[in-house]
């Protein structure tokens, strides 16, 4: 594994790999790698592709400077973990490289970015995601780019950007990885206090209960949402939203119908930590 800090060095390494016939797979991350990230890396390299993992805490997608400041950073450990999972290159650009003096470009994705996470975290959040991912795709020029399904709305935004801009890359997703108790793995889990773990587990519990209800005939999204909110609040979580949505447009659905894709999504606070999760219902 080689740690690469500059855009020019990364392009040189990848250019040599392409000349030799290698496919390139990119796994964009903000670091603090966990088993979900490592699963992505393993999946990305399963076909023999050269896997490059980017580790960059992107300032443009944080609307709260305090949230940016406390985001966990552990680059050396991340590089070791990425290498153990099969990454050959770890790209660690600085903010100055990604957004040099005079940088004045933005990307706005309408529709899919405007509700839920876009509303809770501010319009700049998905603007920042779209911008940094587009830059990373332009820098690395990968054949495939891999993302986790836990950040479902982010994945939908990235797919929209890729389709709308005709980017020459296949956007791939891997299923959410959970711990033994059902908690979706997240870099933010490291910030959880032990007394808030029950509240954190209620996010996944509310989703699984909704899926069980659908399997036995419940179709009304409002009823599913009401039960889910009770599950969250009973466990001490503070919900921001719980909804049933179309997984492509993220428009809310009134009913879960057989043959029509439906995704349950949730954001809630467990203590001071904001968590998100989702689960397909149909």
Enzyme catalytic residues: 37
Cα angle for residues 227, 233, 236 (degrees, 5° grid)? 150
Residue 36 marked ligand-binding: yes
Residue 170 marked ligand-binding: no
- Cα 174 to Cα 229: distance, rounded to the nearest angstrom: 27
Residue 1 marked ligand-binding: no
3 state SS of 265: strand
3 state SS of 73: coil
- Per-residue CA distances from 228 to 124, 231, 281 (Å): 29, 5, 13
Residue 148 marked ligand-binding: yes
Residue 150 marked ligand-binding: yes
Residue 112 marked ligand-binding: no
Residue 34 marked ligand-binding: yes
**Residue in the block written with tokens 């033994």:** 180
Residue 185 marked ligand-binding: yes
- Cα 161 to Cα 140: distance, rounded to the nearest angstrom: 17
Where residue 32 falls (left for φ over 0; alpha for ψ -120 to 50; beta otherwise) is left
Residue 187 marked ligand-binding: yes
Q: Provide the annotated binding site for ATP.
A: 30-37, 148-151, 177, 185-188
Q: Provide the annotated binding site for beta-alanine.
A: 61
Q: Provide the annotated binding site.
A: 30-37, 61, 148-151, 154, 177, 185-188
Q: Provide the annotated binding site for (R)-pantoate.
A: 61, 154
């Amino acid at each position: 594994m080689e740690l690469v800090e500059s855009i020019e060095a990364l392009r040189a390494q990848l250019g040599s790999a392409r000349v030799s016939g290698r496919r390139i797979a990119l796994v964009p991350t903000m670091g603090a790698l966990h088993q979900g990230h490592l699963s992505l890396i393993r999946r990305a390299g399963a076909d023999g592709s050269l896997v490059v993992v980017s580790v960059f805490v992107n300032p443009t997608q944080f609307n709260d400077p305090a949230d940016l400041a406390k985001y966990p950073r552990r680059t050396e450990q991340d590089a070791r973990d990425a290498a153990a999972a099969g990454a050959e290159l770890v790209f660690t650009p600085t903010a100055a490289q990604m957004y040099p003096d005079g940088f004045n470009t933005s990307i706005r994705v309408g529709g899919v970015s405007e509700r839920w996470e876009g509303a809770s975290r501010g319009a700049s959040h998905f603007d920042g995601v779209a911008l940094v991912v587009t830059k990373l795709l332009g820098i690395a020029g990968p054949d495939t780019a891999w993302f986790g399904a836990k950040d479902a709305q982010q994945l939908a935004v990235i797919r929209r950007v890729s389709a709308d801009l005709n980017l020459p890359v296949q956007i791939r997703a891997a299923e959410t990885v959970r711990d033994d108790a059902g908690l979706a793995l997240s870099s933010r889990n490291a910030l959880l206090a032990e007394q808030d773990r029950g509240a954190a587990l209620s996010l996944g519990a509310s989703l699984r209960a909704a899926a069980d209800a659908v399997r036995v005939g419940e179709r009304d999204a409002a009823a599913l949402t009401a039960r889910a909110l009770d599950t969250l609040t009973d466990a001490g979580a503070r919900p921001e939203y719980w909804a049933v949505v179309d997984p492509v447009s993220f428009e809310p659905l009134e009913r879960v119908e057989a043959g029509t894709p439906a995704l349950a999504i949730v954001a809630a606070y467990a203590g001071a930590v904001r968590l998100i999760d989702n689960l397909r219902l149909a």
